[in-house]
Amino acid sequence: MSFMTGVGLTSYGKHEGSSSLDLMSKAAQLALDDAGLKRADIDGILCGYSTVSPHIMLATVFAEHFGIRPSYAHAVQVGGATGLAMTMLAHQLVEAGVCRNMLVVAGENRLTGQSRDASIQALAQVGHPDYEVPLGPTIPAYYGLVANRYMHEYGVTEEDLAEFAVLMRAHACTHPGAQFHDPITVADVMASKPVAMPLKLLDCCPVSDGGAAFVISRERTGEAGVRICGCAQAHTHQHVTAMPGLSELGAEISIARAKQATGLAISDVRYAAIYDSFTITLAMLLEDLGLAGRGEAADRVRSGHFGRDGAMPLNTHGGLLSYGHCGVGGAMAHLVEAHLQMTGRAANRQVRDASIALLHGDGGVLSSHVSMFLEQVA
């Protein structure tokens, strides 16, 4: 058994003059304070990567900088799935008795530390160096291909996809830390600049600066508790060229494994925190995970199903699409928000019931998947 005992999250957007280590440190301090723990209590560190400041030993660079001498430390790299993959590993290390309190941390000055072109180029390298990258694709193009096919097979429209951008923006408008606070409409999304069709600017997450951290512990440190029930992964491919058919993607495999590991069903879930790098990512994952029927996720957005007061509140902080995306920390914000909801601390965003949460992350081009169930413990 493991507990999520503390969370820390910076605002996302511009943090002019902050390095990746600065943002990691800020988030880590917030998480320690939230858990009521001191540096000496932390005996394990897992950290993500920084495209702005790559290092072959980022975890020990951070540990030295922050002032911790852990008995276990290394970085993890699974693209957008890194945050949940680290949490899964922390859970297992704690359960195995290797560590008592693990700090999971990521942060990056991806917006102000490098040009947008540099970010887009760095990320496009997840493509095959010989068979894809020479063709000049971008991450939006990889997902644009998937979107084109998904829309064709399941009758999803560009207007349907736009609904997810509008929902995430509406949620971000209620969170002071979000990168964007101007409401948008489906018409705004449709009229935004084409990036990699059918994806337009507002179908894509932004590039952000920010940091996020949490502490995974063997014992609870406070009154309100969140327990990690269980998690699972699936990795079907790396490159979009080698992606299996739409009915054989990793999200369906990892959620099936996570359900089996925990004995939980989708009908038990009260809050959803789902990876949303693009509108198509969110639409597909909701349907792959069983949070909506095939081709029906957009209708569920329109009916308010995924809103704060709906039956399945989703990414109430605004997600990657509107809270922001600073790399590994991006999807960790989903987990921080889930924790706040489960401990009744989400202020004006608080949902009625977040007793059981489902989290799902995706890395690459729907390549790597991590599903996780969290449970409130009174």
Binding site for another protein (CB under 8 A): 117, 120-121, 124, 128, 130-132, 134-138, 140-142, 144-149, 152, 193-199, 239-242
Cβ closest to another protein, residue 120 vs residue 264: 120
From the DSSP assignment, how many helices (H) and strands (E) are in the chain? 11, 11
Minimum CB separation of residue 246 from another protein in Å reads: 10
Cβ closest to another protein, residue 116 vs residue 345: 116
Cβ closest to another protein, residue 176 vs residue 245: 245
What are 178's two structure tokens?
A: 């979000």
Cβ closest to another protein, residue 131 vs residue 185: 131
Sign, CA torsion 286/211/368/123:
positive
Minimum CB separation of residue 130 from another protein in Å reads: 5
CA atoms of 282 and 139, how far apart (whole Å): 15
Minimum CB separation of residue 145 from another protein in Å reads: 4
Cβ closest to another protein, residue 43 vs residue 362: 362
Minimum CB separation of residue 143 from another protein in Å reads: 8
For residue 311, give every residue at least 6 positions away whose Cβ sits within 8 Å of its Cβ, in sequence order, or none: 305
Beta strands in 133-224 (DSSP E): 194-196, 199-200, 209-217
SS3 375: strand
Place of tokens 């693990």: 102
CA 5 to chain centre: 19
CA atoms of 138 and 143, how far apart (whole Å): 9
Cβ closest to another protein, residue 110 vs residue 308: 110
Minimum CB separation of residue 128 from another protein in Å reads: 7
Minimum CB separation of residue 207 from another protein in Å reads: 12
SS3 16: coil
CB 41 within 8 A of CB 101: yes
Minimum CB separation of residue 247 from another protein in Å reads: 14
Q: Which residues pair with 358 in a beta bridge?
A: 272, 373
Cβ closest to another protein, residue 130 vs residue 223: 130
